[in-house]
Amino acid sequence: MSPEIFFQIIVNGLFTGGIYSLVAVGLTLIYGVMIIVNFAHGEFLMLGIYVAFWAWTLADMDPYIVIPFAFAMIFGLGALVQRGLVQRVLDAHPLNQIILLVGVSILLIGLVQFFFSAEPKAIHVPYETAVISAFGLRFAIARLVAFFASMAISFCLYLFLHYTRTGKAIRAVSQSRDAARLMGINVNFIYYLTFGIGAAITAVAGVLLAPNHRMIPTMGQGYSVIAFVVVVLGTMGNFIGAFLGGLIIGVVEAFAGFYLGGDVKIIASMMIFILILLFRPAGLFGRKRT
């Protein structure tokens, strides 16, 4: 393998991994605060990409302009799902939580399929296939933008969690719900906020995919599974772990795709997932579970 191909694969892997990171950060945030695995997570990405498609067909809006609207819409939806549904099963048997979220996921897929049909859709923008060449490597513009936007959003979220009062409150709730409540934090509000943010940044990941990615209503399931892999790899609830895990899985998939062919690459992630679950269920950044 020539060095150009080697680095090209790494670049491609990082570009995919950037999106995975963003999706996984959303999932890990929700898990860290509420200790529920959001089985409907990928559907928020799917909603994001369909919001972009909708805006594009309706008003010919560029996907990048849609980002704030998608963020706001899906933030509202996420907060609503938390408030109306998830909140009521927080203390229930995990089976009930999972069934509820699987129900939400199926419902969202069904609704999108109802309004947009199950046919694959795509957005067409002028820069769809534009490419920059540098250092002997090729960078697709849309993917380059998606990568740096993902990095920037993850970084902003990190700053938000560490340097604002609300962000600190979110982290406090994730450390101890009861202690946070005793300190006067409105725990329920933090829950709505967290689910909203987690869903919204995932939707933004979807919008970032929109310029050069076909969409189908069931596409979210694949991303849910990838996000589970990433989050387990990077330790459930660990922000940095999810972020790095996304990049790692992206690169691993790119190499697997190169050697084994496009369809089989998911087997590589699944093998990593299964091996981690079996041998290091606490993930790369976690202490051993007792």
Partner 1 sequence: MTAENPATTSNNPIRSWLKDIFLDWDRTQMVICFLLVLFLALTPLFISSTYYLGIIILATIYAFIGISWNIVAGFTGQLLIAHIIFLAIGAYTTIVLFNTYSISPWVGILIAGVVSGLCGVVVAFITLRYGLKVDYFALFTIALMVALRTLFLKWDYVGGAVGMWFSLTDPSFDKMIFANKAPYLYIALSLVVIGLLVQYRIYRSKMGKYFLAIREDDDAASALGVNTSRYKMLAVVIGAAMAGIGGGFYMMYVTFIEPPQVFNLGLNIEIVMAGPIIGGLGSLAGPIVGALLNKPFAEIMRGALAEGRSGNSLIVYGSFLILTIMFMPRGVTGVLHTIYRRILNRLNPRNLGDS
Which 1-60 residues touch partner 1, going by CB under 8 A? 37
Residue for token pair 């709730």: 173
Options 6, 7, 114, 148; binder of partner 1; rule CB under 8 A = 114
Does position 107 interact with partner 1 (CB under 8 A)? The reply is: yes
**C-beta of 60 vs 263, nearer to partner 1:** 263
CB distance 36 to 28 below 8 Å: no
Q: What share of the chain is helix, strand, coil (3-state, %, to 5)?
A: 75, 5, 20
**C-beta of 179 vs 260, nearer to partner 1:** 260
Closest CA to 10 of 247, 231, 243, 244: 247
Does position 136 interact with partner 1 (CB under 8 A)? The reply is: no
**C-beta of 96 vs 176, nearer to partner 1:** 96
Does position 267 interact with partner 1 (CB under 8 A)? The reply is: yes
**What CA–CA distance (Å, rounded) separates 259 from 130?**
26
Residues 6+ apart with CB under 8 A from 232: 273, 276, 277, 281, 283
The structure tokens listed for 272 are 């990593």
CB of 56 to partner 1, least distance (A): 21
Options 2, 182, 263, 287; binder of partner 1; rule CB under 8 A = 263
Options 53, 192, 239, 273; binder of partner 1; rule CB under 8 A = 273
- State the angle between helix axes of 265-279 and 239-260 in degrees (0 to 180), rounded to the nearest 10: 140
Does position 214 interact with partner 1 (CB under 8 A)? The reply is: no
Residue for token pair 């076909």: 214
Binding site for partner 1 (CB under 8 A): 37, 85, 88-89, 92-96, 98-100, 102-114, 117-118, 217-218, 221-222, 225, 228-229, 232, 263-264, 266-267, 270-271, 273-274, 277-279, 281
